Amino acid sequence: MTNVIYAVAVLGILGAVFGALLAYASRIFHAEHDERIDEILAVLPGANCGGCGFPGCAKCAESIVAGKAKVSVCPVGGPAVAAQVAGIMGVEDPGTERIVSHVYCCGGDRASQKFEYDGLKTCAAANKVAGSHMACPSACLGFGSCVAVCKYDAIHVENGVARVDTDKCVACGACVAACPKGLIELVPARQKVFISCRNTEKGVAVRNKCQVGCIACTLCAKKCPAEAITIENNLARIDYAKCTNCGICATVCPRKLIVDLAAKPAEAAPAAPAASAASAAGAQ
């Protein structure tokens, strides 16, 4: 009986000691919860897409409060969320510019193939087979790996090449990471004119592989009134800081690879009026 009482007493003393130590440790290492984290989390879109570079919106909110991320770090929320976060943090509204994804290829069905691919229907798998079945080393593979990761239904494969719906795109960056060819980039939403090609081979090689590849003819650079286009490594490139979206380059490109999203589609020619029955009868 004495041994039982002794054991209980020892356990009670040890419990009291460890409890005191834990209480002391909790007081020493206690970190105050910043209410701004909850406020920022409430205005974030809750997509948990990782487009901000952090694993989820909660970590994003913590990083903003800790000063490890800008108030405009959330690409999904865009300028509206950035302004709200700036208000919570008590800093100036950054006036964030909206950005969207763009696919730098317009080949698709107009690009040649080296061989018939019959493997897994993913871009990553196709890219591992001799650098892909496409003759152009920078061609969109068209299997829609970017489509599969987009949570916003903002990208689709049309005529063998991925296209972005800029009205739906929130610039989460998922498609950028999914493209094994590195053909998708985040660009300013205000930009409407793009040289949608990434092939840096010489003109003859490009002509043999794609009907719409850039051959570095320099016409776009010569005609650009803003001097926003240069030829670098056999490929025309646009400086978006200089570009005015005038669209002149798109009209002079002989390969028709320069995309002008602001251009109105060409109107179909009006159909010829049908001859009236009276006219037909008179003709007889």
Q: Which domains are assigned to the chain?
A: 35-89 (1.10.15.40), 98-190 (3.30.70.20), 195-262 (3.30.70.20)
More confident residue, 165 or 27: 165
As a whole number, mean pLDDT of residues 54-65 equals 91
The DSSP annotation for 234-263 comes to: TEEEE-TTT-----HHHHH-TT--EEETTS
pLDDT of amino acid 94:
76
pTM: 0.74
Angle between the 57-65 and 78-89 helix axes, to the nearest 10 degrees? 40
DSSP assignment letter at 180: T
Choice among 68-82, 131-145, 149-163 with the minimum mean pLDDT:
68-82
Which segment of 52-56, 101-105, 231-235, 253-257 scores lowest on mean pLDDT? 52-56
The Cα–Cα gap between 270 and 283 comes to 24
Is the pLDDT at 22 greater than 80? The verdict is no
pLDDT of residue 76: 85
When pLDDT is averaged across residues 178-189 and rounded to a whole number, the result is 96
Please write the tens of the pLDDT for every residue from 213-225: 999 999 999 999 9
pLDDT at position 282 is 42
Place of tokens 């909110």: 61
pLDDT of residue 197: 97
Helices then strands, counting H and E runs in the chain, come out as 11, 8
Task: Give the whole-number percent of the chain exceeding pLDDT 90.
Answer: 62
- Cα 74 → chain centroid: 13
Mean pLDDT of 41-57: 88
